[in-house]
Amino acid sequence: MRAPTFRRLLNLWPPFLFSGVRVLNLDDDYTEAHVALRLRPWNRNYVRTQFGGSLFAMADPFWMLLILHHLGKDHFVWDKAGSIDFVAPGREDVYAHFKLEPGLLEELRAAAANGEKVLRWFEVPIKTAAGEVVALVRKQLYVRLKPKHR
């Protein structure tokens, strides 16, 4: 699927649409994504800052989606674990930038080539427009070559 079409679909996906998450950009080659979480009355917590569940949701699928797009149907790519470290209160709109580093896909393919599972951690900071870190989200991905391709 073309990246602009997929970006539009993600923005209409109910967990993003109703929590205020917007995919601002998805590169045509699926190597980068820029995501925003607007602070709205419906995604504030009791103390009027960004709701932690929305912060985690904005970062939840992107590492898996970017990598799955590149590894394709020959591999399983699943979320295995995740964690969030709240660093500062989110009192305004926040942003996350996901970028696949050069060589990463080749590393994952090589590590999974023998059919063994590969577990890899990825981290993304969630920041304000001024660059203040509000939270750090870590996701562990499970990558494995599908049985018929081993």
pLDDT (tens digit per residue) in 63-91: 999 999 999 899 999 999 999 999 999 99
- 115 occurs within a structural domain: no
Domain CATH for 56: 3.10.129.10
Express each pLDDT in 21-32 by its tens digit.
Answer: 999 999 999 999
d(CA 11, CA 93): 16
Q: Of 3, 23, 149, 34, which is closest to residue 99 (Cα–Cα)?
A: 34
- 143 occurs within a structural domain: no
Beta bridge partner(s), residue 119: 142
Range of the domain at 52: 3-73+86-106+123-137
The pTM of the full predicted model, rounded to 2 decimals, is: 0.92
